[in-house]
Amino acid sequence: MKKLLKLAIKDAKGHLKKGNIFMLAVAFILGTVFGSLVSSFANDILMGLIASLVGKTDSLDALSWKAVKYGKFLGALIYFLVVSAFIFVFLVVYFSVIRIKEKRLLIKNPVVPEQKASTPAPTTEELILAELKSLNENLTKE
């Protein structure tokens, strides 16, 4: 039982040293914080601004036409658009940084095309075989 526990601890340390789990935890925390930031931006700033422009209410949730509460739908739609825009901008910046790093790496270490290898020198066996062929041809001519 102790051996099994020691092996499990060793494996866990190995995975933690790789950094994958740590990076996943950091990404999860940042995603949660980013989600609350975007939610606050959409709900507190944009929704209030749009509600004041559209009607005389403080929030879009109060907007309705008869029994249809289109304010909630507009709020959800705007929230979706804001989150999509934030994700798009983040991805553009992320991939731009990756491209810049790749270009700098290529400038530092340019890729040299492989030159065609010249035909290798014949081995001893091939030389002997060629000599035997030439001797055989000479003998057959006589």
Question: In this predicted structure, what is the pLDDT of residue 128?
Answer: 92
pLDDT, tens digit (0-9, with 9 covering 90-100), for 63-118: 667 777 777 777 778 888 887 888 888 888 888 998 999 999 988 888 777 777 67
Say if CB 69 and CB 75 are below 8 A apart: no
Single-letter code of the amino acid located at 16 = L
Q: State the SS3 of the chain.
A: CHHHHHHHHHHHHHHHHHCHHHHHHHHHHHHHHHHHHHHHHHHHHHHHHHHHHHCCCCCHHHCCECCECHHHHHHHHHHHHHHHHHHHHHHHHHHHHHHHHHHHHHHHCCCCCCCCCCCCCCCHHHHHHHHHHHHHHHHHHC
Rounded to a whole number of angstroms, the CA Rg of the chain reads: 35
Question: In this predicted structure, what is the pLDDT of residue 117?
Answer: 67
120 backbone dihedrals φ, ψ, rounded to 5°: -70, 155
pLDDT, tens digit (0-9, with 9 covering 90-100), for 117-127: 677 888 899 99
24-47 average pLDDT score: 78
Question: In this predicted structure, what is the pLDDT of residue 62?
Answer: 67
Residue 30: pLDDT above 80?
Answer: no
For the chain, give the mean pLDDT: 79
Question: In this predicted structure, what is the pLDDT of residue 29?
Answer: 80
Query: What percent of the chain has a predicted confidence (pLDDT) above 70?
Result: 85
Question: In this predicted structure, what is the pLDDT of residue 2?
Answer: 78
Question: In this predicted structure, what is the pLDDT of residue 14?
Answer: 74
From the list 101, 47, 53, the residue with the least C-alpha distance to 76 is 47
25-34 average pLDDT score: 78
Question: In this predicted structure, what is the pLDDT of residue 60?
Answer: 67
118-141 average pLDDT score: 87
